[in-house]
């Protein structure tokens, strides 16, 4: 701004003001463009950070699906080995069991039973197509022999291009004389059925056998080989796979946060430029009026005040946008004592669907979930993994428990997925001890306080998978030192007995004095877990110590 003290020239004219409007407009335009570019760059950076965070969540969901698939590969091999060990290597038993797993369109294209006698190692019986790894070769014997030295199954890649296969071998490392060998074909398009899961829908991905990402280690992908390796914004997850690992590399196929986030930088760039041009034009007009009305100091001051207001408004917009787009942190939970336990049912062949989890949402809040997917087996575990990571992502996005359940109720369908799930979701306030709970058909948690044990009076909505539904939340206030105990029904249910009896038994057992939450859970499981029960048990205990 030019000082009025220098406005008069010796000849009585307004000295130096002939260029002032143009110079002022240029300064305003330059300043506005700098602010506009800074805002657009900030929006772009924040959107990129948010996209990367969503990409990591999507990649973890995809990795969870792959982890579930690995169980479906290991389980039949382990079962076949246990059967042959128990039967002394009965070839007929091996054929009867593995024939259901081997052949065109099935899990394995080839399978064989091997027997070790002294220093010799030979195949006893083979099923399916001709193995890519010739049984009489040194490589085949060395590979099967390595299974006897490994605490888990061993994996290697054989063949190349359209004929590539993954070979597996499993043996008991101590005192075993039998090993099971199998080969699984990788389709010519390098895409396996599990990668049709919705977790992969928005991703470009490639999986590699081992920790490296060279083309020689490539297992599956949805892209042409010429597009590999993936570049740009990528996320990587390493999934344990026998004696090696499966490395998943993913990049976004679409804008994961929606098209608006990607368009924001351009919106602010164009809008800021228009606003800058308008502001520069307004500044030029203000200065011209200042030159023409040099004696109206108050009027000129008002005009410059208006101009300063335009600058302040534009700065406020930039600051508000930055605060709105900054991601939330994931801190520790200093005021909370947490203990948990999972006990598998007596039927250990099939995997169950019980789960629990707890996560810090921000400096004041934490979220937790306990759930139980109906049925057992790989499909139940897959549904559990989907719900676990989906609920975690929704809680991190800041949704309330009843909203999280409502959104999940639209993503699970009993007829399509073959399972339903009961779920308890909660969000707690570390400063007040208030916990908000919502239940999709799940048992109410038990609160242990100085006044004794008491179950929370919850409105239990429909389990997830029955039909899209809405849910009602309930608020519970915890006193310092109080404990909230959430559990799955395996802890209280008994065959032929009313669940109310089991709930009363739990409340009575929870009143016994213990020192820590771990001791409390151990005591409950020792007293309540029925020997030989088929149902799994998941328990999560949260003790609020009070505001720190």
Give dist(CA 352, CA 337) in Å, integer. 27
CA contacts within 13 A on the Cβ side of 27 = 13
Say yes or no to pLDDT of 487 above 90. Answer: yes
What is the predicted pLDDT for the residue at 346?
60
pLDDT of residue 295: 61
pLDDT band at 197 (very low <50, low <70, confident <90, very high): confident
The mean per-residue pLDDT over the stretch 509-514 comes to 89
Q: How far apart are CA 3 and CA 15, in angstroms?
A: 12
State the residue for tokens 């929870």.
510
Q: Is the pLDDT of residue 330 over 60?
A: no
Tens of pLDDT, residues 279-323:
878 777 777 777 776 665 565 566 557 756 654 454 333 333 323
DSSP conformation letters of 412-471? --HHHHS--EEEEEEEEETTT-EEEEEEEBPPPPEEEETTEEEE----B-PPBTSS----
47 closest CA partner among 302, 274, 268, 257: 257
Choose which CATH entry (3.30.300.10, 1.10.490.10, 3.60.40.10, 3.30.110.30) describes domain 336-544.
3.60.40.10
Least confident residue range of 141-155, 181-195, 415-429: 181-195
Separation of alpha carbons 148 and 157, rounded Å:
19
Say if residues 169 and 153 touch (Cβ distance below 8 Å). Answer: yes
pLDDT-derived band at 192 (thresholds 50, 70, 90) equals confident
List the single range of 119-123, 193-197, 489-493 with lowest mean pLDDT.
Answer: 193-197
- Average pLDDT for 412-416: 90
The pLDDT value given to residue 331: 44
329 pLDDT more than 70: no
Residue 434 near residue 480 (C-beta atoms within 8 A) = no
Mean pLDDT of 317-336: 46
Q: Checking DSSP bridges between strand 336-343 and strand 537-544, what pairing results, if any? A: antiparallel
**67-81, 388-402, 430-444: segment of lowest average pLDDT:** 67-81
What is the average per-residue pLDDT within 407-426? 93
CA gap 41, 85 in Å, rounded = 65
Per-residue pLDDT at 195 exceeds 50: yes
Locate the DSSP E strands across 161-290: 165-171, 178-185, 203-209, 218-221, 235-241, 244-252
Q: Is the predicted pLDDT of residue 108 greater than 80, yes or no? A: yes
CA angle 476, 339, 478 (to 5 degrees): 20
In this structure, the strands spanning 244-252 and 235-241 are: antiparallel
Span 245-277, pLDDT tens digits? 999 999 998 887 776 766 777 887 888 888 888
Q: What is the C-alpha separation between 311 and 279, in angstroms, rounded? A: 9
In tens, the pLDDT along 397-411 reads 999 999 999 999 999
Query: Residue 206 in contact with residue 228, Cβ under 8 Å?
Result: yes
Over residues 340-361, the mean pLDDT reads 81
Between 167 and 376, name the one with better pLDDT: 167
Q: Higher confidence at residue 420 or residue 38? A: 420
Percent over 90 (pLDDT), the chain: 42
Rounded mean pLDDT, 355-372 = 93
- How large is the average pLDDT for residues 44-58? 85
Report the pLDDT value the prediction gives residue 328, as an integer from 0 to 100.
Answer: 37
Whole-model pTM over 0.75 = no
DSSP state at residue 226:
G
**190-199, 228-237, 466-475, 483-492: the lowest-pLDDT one:** 190-199
Domain ranges of the chain: 4-49+257-325, 336-544
Strands 354-360 and 365-373: antiparallel
Min mean pLDDT across 107-116, 124-133, 215-224, 472-481 is at 215-224
DSSP state of 315: H
Percent of the chain scoring above 70 in pLDDT:
86
Q: In which band, very low, low, confident or very high, does the pLDDT at 473 lie, cut at 50, 70 and 90?
A: very high
Q: Would strands 434-440 and 473-477 be described as parallel, antiparallel, or unpaired? A: antiparallel
Give the model's pLDDT for residue 265. 77
Q: Is the pLDDT of residue 492 over 50?
A: yes
Q: Answer with the residue of higher pLDDT: 512 or 6.
A: 512
Residue 532 pLDDT grade (very low, low, confident, very high; cuts 50, 70, 90): low
Check: CB of residue 409 under 8 Å from CB of residue 425: no
**CA–CA separation, 277 and 262 (whole Å):** 24
pLDDT score at 299: 58
Choose between 418 and 265: higher pLDDT: 418
Q: What is the mean pLDDT of the chain?
A: 84
pLDDT digits (tens, 9 = 90+) for 53-94: 888 888 888 888 888 888 888 899 999 989 888 888 899 999
């Amino acid at each position: 701004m030019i000082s009025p003290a220098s406005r008069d020239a010796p000849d009585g004219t307004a000295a130096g003001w002939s260029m002032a409007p143009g110079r002022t407009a240029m300064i305003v335009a330059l300043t506005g463009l700098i602010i506009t570019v800074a805002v657009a760059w900030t929006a772009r950076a924040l959107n990129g950070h948010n996209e990367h965070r969503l990409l990591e969540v999507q990649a973890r969901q995809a990795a969870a699906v792959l982890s579930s698939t690995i169980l479906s590969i290991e389980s039949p091999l382990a079962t076949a080995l246990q059967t042959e060990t128990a039967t002394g290597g009965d070839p007929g038993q091996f054929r009867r069991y593995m024939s259901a797993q081997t052949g065109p369109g099935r899990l394995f294209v080839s399978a064989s039973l091997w027997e070790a006698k002294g220093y010799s190692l030979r195949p006893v019986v083979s099923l399916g197509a001709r193995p890519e790894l010739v049984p009489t070769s040194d490589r085949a014997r060395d590979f099967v022999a390595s299974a006897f030295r490994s605490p888990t199954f061993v994996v290697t890649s054989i063949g190349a291009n359209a004929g590539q296969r993954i070979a597996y071998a499993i043996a008991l490392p101590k005192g075993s004389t039998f090993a099971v060998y199998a080969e699984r074909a990788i389709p010519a398009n390098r895409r396996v059925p599990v990668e049709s899961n919705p977790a992969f829908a928005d991703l470009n991905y490639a999986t590699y056998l081992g920790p490296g990402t060279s083309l020689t280690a490539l297992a599956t992908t949805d892209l042409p080989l010429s597009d590999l390796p993936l570049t740009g914004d990528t996320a990587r997850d390493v999934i344990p796979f026998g004696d090696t690992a499966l490395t998943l590399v993913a990049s976004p196929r679409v804008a994961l946060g929606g098209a608006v986030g990607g368009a924001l930088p351009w919106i602010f760039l164009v809008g800021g430029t228009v606003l800058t041009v308008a502001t520069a034009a307004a500044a030029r007009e203000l200065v011209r009026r200042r030159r023409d009305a040099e004696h109206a100091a108050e009027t000129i001051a008002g005009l410059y005040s208006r101009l300063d207001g335009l600058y302040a408004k534009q700065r406020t917009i930039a600051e508000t946008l930055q605060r709105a787009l900054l991601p939330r942190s994931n801190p520790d939970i200093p005021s909370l004592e947490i203990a948990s336990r999972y006990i598998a049912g007596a039927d250990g062949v099939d995997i169950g669907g019980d789960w629990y989890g707890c996560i810090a949402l921000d400096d004041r809040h934490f979220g937790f979930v306990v759930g139980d997917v109906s049925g057992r087996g790989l499909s139940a575990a897959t549904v559990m993994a989907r719900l676990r990571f989906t609920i975690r992502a929704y809680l991190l996005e800041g949704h309330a428990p009843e909203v999280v359940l409502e959104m999940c109720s639209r993503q699970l369908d009993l007829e399509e997925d073959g399972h339903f799930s009961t779920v308890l979701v909660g969000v707690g306030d570390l400063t007040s001890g208030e916990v908000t709970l919502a239940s999709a058909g799940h048992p109410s948690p038990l609160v242990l306080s100085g006044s004794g044990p008491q179950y929370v009076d919850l409105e239990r909505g429909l389990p997830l998978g029955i039909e899209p539904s809405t849910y009602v939340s309930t608020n519970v206030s915890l006193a310092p030192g109080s404990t909230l105990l959430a559990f799955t029904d395996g802890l209280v249910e008994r065959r032929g007995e009313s669940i109310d009896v089991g709930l009363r038994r739990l409340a009575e057992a929870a009143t016994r004095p213990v020192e820590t939450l771990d001791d409390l859970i151990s005591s409950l499981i020792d007293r309540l877990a029925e020997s030989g029960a088929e149902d799994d048990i998941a328990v999560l205990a949260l003790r609020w110590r009070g505001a720190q």
